[in-house]
A and B are shown apart, each in its own frame.
Chain A
Amino acid sequence: MIIIARTALPGPELDGIREFVERHGLRTHVSHGTDRTVIGCVGDARAIDPHAVRALPGVEEVIPVRKPYRLASREFVAGRTVIPLGDRRGTLIGGPQLVVAAGPCSVEGRAMLLETATAVRASGARMLRGGAFKPRTSPWVFQGLGVEALELLAEARAATGLPVVTEVMDPRQVELVAAHADVLQIGARNMQNYALLAEVGRVRRPVLLKRGLSATVSELLLAAEHVMAQGNRDVILCERGIRTFETATRNTLDVGAVAVLKLETHLPVIVDPSHAAGRADLVAPLAFAAVAAGADGLIVEVHPRPSEARSDGDQSLTPAVFDDLMRALAPFAAAAGRTLDDEAPREPRARVA
């Protein structure tokens, strides 16, 4: 149940509405907007008579919720969630700026990470991505540098000012990863690892939640709900392609899901065109489609020498190609009412053939 109340409701009146609901064993979450106050009620609302709520002072409307998700639902809050990434430039995701995160699939060493971080920042990336703990389909391939990679990511952040996003795979590592990273990534394979979702819900770091390979939009939102139910409301959703019968791309980028999510939830939505494509030459067109569909940002794999990458080399862009992508994105961003990085000077440059 969602209760719409007057704006600037005096404390005791708001308390009265919340107490009425909480007397029935539910919990309330209040969101103050410019033209309304939204009181979201979580729990079994069947025992509550909506007419009695409607009669309380300050209440304007009572809306039953038919969706399985609550905290992530767009009805539940007064506006859109805008999440600060914690960098000195004050980058916000979910606002008018199109935020691009870029970096290697895996952190493979100090030199390659710093080289990539410096290059992607110069091209206008606002966040550095890099895997420290890698969930690989096979246990016999490179699994990431672990703690050493976390320290290198922190060093790259200090050198470039870019906030860092990296994946956390295990509830026992959440505190460790949160001590080094600005944004915690939950990978597609862990989207329904509820113990892990609960653990990242208890820390004060934004969470980048990737859609599972076979998860529906509703399941993605319910996974976000698990994080938010623990108190962490800063969840960024990520569409990264789903498994379909099509094999021409590594996964099928579900552009429709981006449009659906923008209608269903107040949370920011970003797209990972690299994992969806599985091939470097498809990354740009998928990125354009994502921005046109309303994505708040992109997360792109960039490696200084993709042929030498220890994971996902086929889909990694070189820094030069990433720079081309950022230039080519600008008109798509503008058409979607977005701005790209306003600080990086965009000198004309001869296109690399």
Chain B
Amino acid sequence: MTAARQADPVLAKLRADLEVLDGEIVRLVALRVETARAIGAHKRAAGVPTLDAPREAAVIRRAAAAARDAALPEEPLRAIFWQLVELCRRAQEEV
């Protein structure tokens, strides 16, 4: 990277904005994991299995539809949500 590009104030501002957004995304993922743990504890108390494949499929379908509404590419959004769903399922199992 050249020094000129590093010193570009517009780029620096946009990158700072991205960093704020990244922090927000991580905060929301942590919140989702926390909620999943609560669900995991509740399922355990109720004697319900953690894995609920139909529910996971419904979450992905809703994310795909939301991606289309937001004019975002659907497949990458699906992939991100599968990662999220798997992360939260593991969190449920760890309770």
Contacts and interface: CB of A to CB of B under 8 A. Distances in A.
A25 interface: yes
Interface string B45-59: 000000101101110
Contacts of A18: 57, 60-61, 64
B28 interface: no
B27 interface: no
A240 B15 CA distance: 45
A19 B60 contact: yes
B1 to A, nearest CB: 13
Nearest to A47: B53
B87 to A, nearest CB: 16
A15 B53 contact: no
A24 interface: yes
B53 A25 contact: yes
B25 interface: no
Contacts of B75: 30
Contacts of A21: 57
B64 A15 contact: yes
Main SS of chain B's interface residues? helix
Interface string A1-37: 0000000000110011011111111010010000000
B58 A19 contact: yes
B43 interface: no
Nearest to B65: A15
Contacts of A19: 57-58, 60-61
A33 B22 CA distance: 35
Query: Which of B57, B61, B68 counts the most chain A CB atoms within 10 A?
Result: B57
A231 interface: yes
A27 B75 CA distance: 12
Interface in A212-226: none
A16 to B, nearest CB: 8
Interface in B38-95: 51, 53-54, 56-58, 60-61, 64-65, 68, 74-75, 79, 82
A25 B50 CA distance: 13
Contact of B65 (A12, A20, A25, A30): A12
Contacts of B68: 11
A44 to B, nearest CB: 11
A23 B55 CA distance: 7
B52 to A, nearest CB: 10
B61 A15 contact: yes
A19 B72 CA distance: 19
Interface in A227-251: 231
Nearest to A28: B78
B53 A11 contact: no
B65 A23 contact: no
Contact of A27 (B54, B58, B82): B82
Query: Which of B60, B68, B82 counts the most chain A CB atoms within 10 A?
Result: B60
A22 B53 contact: yes
Contacts of B82: 27
Interface string B10-25: 0000000000000000
A11 B66 CA distance: 11
29 contacts: A11-B65, A11-B68, A11-B74, A12-B65, A15-B61, A15-B64, A16-B61, A18-B57, A18-B60, A18-B64, A19-B57, A19-B58, A19-B60, A19-B61, A20-B57, A21-B57, A22-B56, A22-B57, A22-B60, A22-B61, A23-B53, A23-B54, A23-B57, A23-B58, A24-B53, A25-B53, A27-B82, A30-B75, A231-B79
Interface of B: 51, 53-54, 56-58, 60-61, 64-65, 68, 74-75, 79, 82
Q: Shortest 5 CB-CB distances between A and B: which pairs? A: A22-B57, A23-B54, A23-B57, A19-B61, A25-B53
Given A11-B64, A15-B65, 8 more contacts: A12-B65, A15-B64, A16-B61, A18-B57, A25-B53, A27-B82, A30-B75, A231-B79
